[in-house]
Amino acid sequence: MTTSIEPEVRLVAGALGAELHGIDVNTLTDEGFDRIHELLLAHQVVFITGQTGMTPEAHIALGRRFGEVELHPYLPRLEGYPEIVIINSEEGGKVDVWHTDMTFHQSPPQVSILQLLKVPQTGGDTMFTNQCMVYEELSAPLRDFLDGLTAIHVIRIGNEFTSRAEHPVVRVHPETGRRSLYVNRLFTSHIPQLTRNESDAILEYLFRFSEGPQFTCRYRWQAGDIAIWDNRVTQHYAVNDYRDLRRGQRVTVLGDHPTGDQPRWEHYVAAPGQRYWPDRVNAVDNY
């Protein structure tokens, strides 16, 4: 197989996702990468098929074309290649909760590049949402309200909160300028400008709305396939409907600090004697 500057492109769904054929990541040219990058910005997630021969060096090199590659603080790594983390369904690698990767960091990753090497005979699909479309389908008054808010994102390892960040509820993409809803079930704790009850109600509505099937694509993996997703404008969900081994390797590209409109209100301060739990997260120990 030779790298094609113009790969064959098949759209996966109406909301997002494009499958690319005719690419060999091991011999990727600058022109070939530029086309992948262009398609990623247009479709939020791209799937490159037929990459069973991709080397770890090529995987890391593809990540470095997007930016600085992360050394993940929690997940197991491929021996000899600390830039590559192992995703193993038999070792906690099942994340069947909608989420955006590592939003608990001040600068969450911009791009993730996952290759599945072992896939179940049936099941094990991954779903993605287009968070730009989610935001754009909200009513104008609600969009205006959300533009002026922030959200707290946290992670807990065991019983300890180990990382915490505050980001705009609506972020602006640094390359396309599009706005996207930037909250997720796994890591978003609360909206600090609101009371706990208000925050819980609004976040639950936003979570449910963003998970609507009209905003999603669902990808059926073949061994060797690569998924590259723009972590700034998507959520994803690993469908846990299988028992066979599902194993892959992922490279993550460090991101920038999410930006949006300035918050229009101060953080809510509870009245004396009123209890207010500042950090809460659904998820934890494995993600």
Residue 43 lies in a domain: yes
Residue 287 lies in a domain: no
Residue 284 lies in a domain: no
Residue with tokens 């996966």: 12
What pLDDT, on the 0 to 100 scale, is given for residue 58? Answer: 97
Residue 272 lies in a domain: no
Residue 260: name the closest of 182, 154, 152 by CA: 182
CATH number at residue 88: 3.60.130.10
Tell me which of 35, 43, 72, 99 is the catalytic residue: 99
What pLDDT, on the 0 to 100 scale, is given for residue 130? Answer: 98
What pLDDT, on the 0 to 100 scale, is given for residue 277? Answer: 60
Residue 82: name the closest of 219, 207, 249 by CA: 249
Contact 213, 16 (CB under 8 A): no
Residue 132, SS3 per DSSP: helix
Residue 3 lies in a domain: no
Task: Based on the residue annotation, tell me whether 179 is a catalytic residue of this protein.
Answer: no
Task: Based on the residue annotation, tell me whether 164 is a catalytic residue of this protein.
Answer: no
C-alpha span between 243 and 273 (Å, rounded): 50
Tell me which of 101, 147, 225, 230 is the catalytic residue: 101
What pLDDT, on the 0 to 100 scale, is given for residue 282? Answer: 54
Identity of the amino acid at 131? Q
Tell me which of 35, 43, 236, 246 is the catalytic residue: 236
Task: Based on the residue annotation, tell me whether 257 is a catalytic residue of this protein.
Answer: no
C-alpha span between 213 and 15 (Å, rounded): 9
Q: How many CA atoms lie within 13 A of 79 on its CB side?
A: 0
C-alpha span between 97 and 94 (Å, rounded): 9
Q: How many domains does the chain have?
A: 1
Q: How many CA atoms lie within 13 A of 38 on its CB side?
A: 10
Q: At what angle do helices 30-43 and 56-66 cross, to 10 degrees?
A: 60
Residue with tokens 């009209």: 214
What pLDDT, on the 0 to 100 scale, is given for residue 68? Answer: 96
pLDDT in tens for each of the 287 residues of the chain? 444 468 899 999 999 999 999 999 999 999 999 999 999 999 999 999 999 999 999 999 999 999 999 887 667 788 889 999 998 988 766 778 999 999 999 999 999 999 999 999 999 999 999 999 999 999 999 999 999 999 999 987 765 557 899 999 999 999 999 999 999 999 999 999 999 999 999 999 999 999 999 999 999 999 999 999 999 999 999 999 999 999 999 999 999 999 999 999 999 998 887 766 667 665 443 33
Identity of the amino acid at 47? F
Q: Where are the beta strands (DSSP E) in the chain?
A: 8-11, 18-21, 45-48, 77-78, 81-88, 111-118, 126-130, 150-157, 160-168, 170-172, 179-181, 188-190, 216-219, 226-230, 234-238, 247-253
Residue 90 lies in a domain: yes
Task: Based on the residue annotation, tell me whether 246 is a catalytic residue of this protein.
Answer: no
161 contacts: CB under 8 Å, gap ≥ 6: 154, 155, 279, 281
What pLDDT, on the 0 to 100 scale, is given for residue 276? Answer: 63
Range of the domain at 118: 8-128+216-253
Residue 19 lies in a domain: yes
Q: Tell if the pTM clears 0.85, that is, is over it.
A: yes
Instruction: Tokens for 56, please give them.
Output: 């770890």
Burial class (CB in 10 A: 0-12, 13-18, 19+), 3: middle
Residue 274 lies in a domain: no
What pLDDT, on the 0 to 100 scale, is given for residue 37? Answer: 98
